Structure 1
């Protein structure tokens, strides 16, 4: 909580001449009930020259926080803030720092760090082309081709330097040419157990549509072209008075309600994990290039009696550090959910989101994360049931500064005024000095990360605003106003 005890009397003395000219109260005196007041009846903000001549940077931060308590945009909001010194392990300034709040996409800070800690910066997903059977003297493969996936969330997307489907298919075709295969007398079998089957349950209270963005859970190997997937919008029945629309994905056959729909009736998306699309594209390309395939593309999740197979070609995804950089810079929800399932599979052998959440929360607990107020429901932050406190975020980010992967993690964060989702914030003051993950849902705006002060210090901060009034741009301006004086600490 903001504390003006240390400097309020000096402010009153040094600025008394200025304050007497104001129409509001001329002096502010400390009383026993002072700390329990939500805000101070301070005069209108004085000019920056007078402020800086009288007040320290910390005092300016505190006054800005106090001013926001009565700001029309934030006065009825639920919000919390903390600036933390990682060297002294002390709070510099705070407000409601122990209040659990909806973190939105700053949840990705927890997901990406867990993946980096448990899997390592150089972890890669493999997608392999193999064949069974034998090749005769005419180049006919009497056997099957296998595309063996591992849940690569970047497969065919061009994200983080990932290859396109066309590039992967070209490499696979080249592999068959090297093996002398001119015809395939068999099937193309998709085999991946990581994201097998349909997702059984969506994250609680998840947001599927926010400001014209949509969310689709990762994971399926059904024979569906992801480029043609549609989220179908239908009007709700007359009995659901407060719910007007629902969404159905062919990947999980589940209905999700929403209060509002701003689209045109059909949404089109791509699914990050889509080996079926790769396999179908591969088959089409083979046929067009004169390599006949007599069989069809078919999934085969488990195989009690696997055939002996030979490796033809192996595609490696970008490194985990590359994937995390892209995830945090672009706040990519699909990649974040894939990371959640990957850590669950690698540690518990189960591809469900529930296993992923268990792995993340157990990891955070083992690293000393302040679990009070934490509710971790998904990997991306789209669930409104996610909760975390500002002080927990700040201490978590502080603890990472001693990790061997800290530099890679730090570099993955958007930079104020320069990159990612922070490119349009801190364009003036703070440009190149704020390194943080943003979060945005309807009436939720959050920011958490690090700042390099003008004196060369590194400070950690968290600022989360829920249920604000006005526009998101209004909130951004107030967030900047709160944080900018901290750059002089």
Structure 2
């Protein structure tokens, strides 16, 4: 027995000595001119042994950009069912009352969930209550001049078509939403849409399809719903207190994959809104964020400043160690194959299709996060030994090419892969 214990202790010491050597070799790579004028952090964790392998500025706060979506994914997977709610409804005095739940999939150009429309086609005397969203249409700290950019749609209680309209002028004018066809002007302009109204601008030479967010309000949504369903819809200022029922639609995993693979900001925002349906009547992404931080993630050593679902806001602040903590929670609650399918894979899919390639097999399954002068990567690294490590590599305030930074990050991550 003593000999067995001695062997175990010796093996543990060798293992500990091995990763400490790795730690030293990796952290010294930050002590060179490449990193001297930027702020970088790397936290690497072994979920099986429970060892922190590398902690270089892991307890410092960074602007995470779309790494914020890791927390959004965790919130959604913790609170939402396997099939996402499409609409809530009730009946009173023979009238049908409906209200949105924030589901991003209805008529979405990729997700194409038709459950809401098919349900409404079968109803009569429909009344829409639209004012159940407590959030502002644009998030705190979002750049004002992104209002016409495809990646910055408005948040809403009942989104349709991803809250964007598609426009092109190849052979003739194409407008994906019929009610906007008379709102498009063929002329050059500084922006693709007027700031305060749904008036869109398209160059006569624009052959490729562009996506432009539209302003969402009850009147706009009613018109789209009426066109799609062939039904007359009345806007109301209340929702009856009679029994509330829910219609369910698309599978959650397909939405989560779209969220993470292409870093879809709109889906991220709407998932936090939709998750709040499990916490009360009114929709509020702030309510979801607060609940998750106070309950499921109350073990975080460094409470983040978490202000939106997408990471568009530079007000967000997270530490690499907090990212790893949440990734560990995801790892423990989700089959590995499912998780790796949702996250982009280096050299193969999503936002990592051209970066962090493995040879001969992929080794990175992770979420990117990009804002100007900021690039973060957090997720799962499969070492050559077969072990899975959880990591967060965050970089703020660099001025060089992002491709140069990614190449340097790849060198460090490959070294960990080859030597752990």
Task: Indicate the TM-score class for this superposition, using the shorter chain for normalisation.
Answer: 0.7 to 0.9
- 99, 122, 125: which is aligned to 2:85? 125
1:414 alignment partner, SS class: coil
- 344, 351, 357: which is aligned to 2:283? 351
Distance in 2, matches of 1:57 and 1:275, equals 58
Query: Could you say which residue in structure 2 is the equivalent of 1:151?
Result: 102
- 27, 43, 66: which is aligned to 2:28? 66
- 39, 42, 66: which is aligned to 1:78? 39
Query: Could you say which residue in structure 1 is the equivalent of 2:323?
Result: 393
- CA separation of 1:330/1:249 partners in 2, compared to 1, >3 Å: closer, same or farther? farther
Distance in 2, matches of 1:67 and 1:336, equals 34
**Stretches of structure 2 lacking an aligned partner (at least 5 in a row):** 1-17, 166-179, 199-209
Do 2:154 and 2:213's aligned partners in 1 also have CA atoms closer than 8 Å? no
What is the CA deviation profile of residues 384-412 of structure 1, one whole-angstrom value per residue up to 9, with x for unaligned ones? 11111112222332243332566644431
Q: Number of paired residues?
A: 369
What is the CA deviation profile of residues 439-470 of structure 1, one whole-angstrom value per residue up to 9, with x for unaligned ones? 00111100011111111101111100000121
Report the Cα offset of residue 352 of structure 1.
2.7
Structure-2-length-normalised TM-score: 0.73
Do 1:169 and 1:281's aligned partners in 2 also have CA atoms closer than 8 Å? no
Query: Could you say which residue in structure 2 is the equivalent of 1:100?
Result: 61
- 152, 155, 172: which is aligned to 1:215? 152
Distance in 2, matches of 1:111 and 1:285, equals 31
- CA separation of 1:208/1:316 partners in 2, compared to 1, >3 Å: closer, same or farther? farther
- CA separation of 1:132/1:386 partners in 2, compared to 1, >3 Å: closer, same or farther? closer
Query: Could you say which residue in structure 2 is the equivalent of 1:337?
Result: 269
- CA separation of 1:68/1:168 partners in 2, compared to 1, >3 Å: closer, same or farther? same
- CA separation of 1:475/1:247 partners in 2, compared to 1, >3 Å: closer, same or farther? farther
Residue 191, structure 1, aligned to residue 134, structure 2: no
**Match runs of 1:6-405 below 5 Å:** 59=21, 62-63=24-25, 65-72=27-34, 74-120=35-81, 122-127=82-87, 148-159=99-110, 161-163=111-113, 169=117, 172-173=120-121, 175=122, 188-192=126-130, 194-195=132-133, 199-200=135-136, 202-207=138-143, 214-219=151-156, 227=165, 228=180, 248=195, 269-270=212-213, 279-281=222-224, 283-284=226-227, 296-304=232-240, 316-366=248-298, 368-372=299-303, 374-403=304-333
- CA separation of 1:452/1:271 partners in 2, compared to 1, >3 Å: closer, same or farther? farther
- CA separation of 1:221/1:394 partners in 2, compared to 1, >3 Å: closer, same or farther? closer
Query: Could you say which residue in structure 1 is the equivalent of 2:405?
Result: 475
Distance in 2, matches of 1:346 and 1:358, equals 13
Distance in 2, matches of 1:125 and 1:273, equals 20
Distance in 1, matches of 2:369 and 2:416, equals 21
Do 1:448 and 1:461's aligned partners in 2 also have CA atoms closer than 8 Å? yes
1:464 alignment partner, SS class: strand
Distance in 2, matches of 1:347 and 1:131, equals 22
- CA separation of 1:456/1:226 partners in 2, compared to 1, >3 Å: closer, same or farther? closer
Do 1:429 and 1:484's aligned partners in 2 also have CA atoms closer than 8 Å? no
Distance in 2, matches of 1:462 and 1:412, equals 17
- CA separation of 1:381/1:430 partners in 2, compared to 1, >3 Å: closer, same or farther? farther
- CA separation of 1:172/1:376 partners in 2, compared to 1, >3 Å: closer, same or farther? closer
RMSD, matched Cα: 4.1
Do 2:46 and 2:390's aligned partners in 1 also have CA atoms closer than 8 Å? yes
Whose Rg is larger?
Answer: 1
- CA separation of 1:284/1:304 partners in 2, compared to 1, >3 Å: closer, same or farther? closer
Query: Could you say which residue in structure 1 is the equivalent of 2:15?
Result: none
- CA separation of 1:379/1:360 partners in 2, compared to 1, >3 Å: closer, same or farther? farther
Greater alpha carbon shift after TM alignment, 148-157 vs 220-229: 220-229
1:205 alignment partner, SS class: coil
- CA separation of 1:477/1:61 partners in 2, compared to 1, >3 Å: closer, same or farther? farther
- 348, 353, 375: which is aligned to 1:418? 348
- CA separation of 1:405/1:461 partners in 2, compared to 1, >3 Å: closer, same or farther? same
What is the CA deviation profile of residues 43-80 of structure 1, one whole-angstrom value per residue up to 9, with x for unaligned ones? xxxxxxxxxxxxx78756744543343233x3210110
Structure-1-length-normalised TM-score: 0.64
Do 1:417 and 1:427's aligned partners in 2 also have CA atoms closer than 8 Å? yes
- CA separation of 1:462/1:420 partners in 2, compared to 1, >3 Å: closer, same or farther? same
**Stretches of structure 1 lacking an aligned partner (at least 5 in a row):** 1-55, 134-142, 177-183, 236-245, 252-266, 288-292
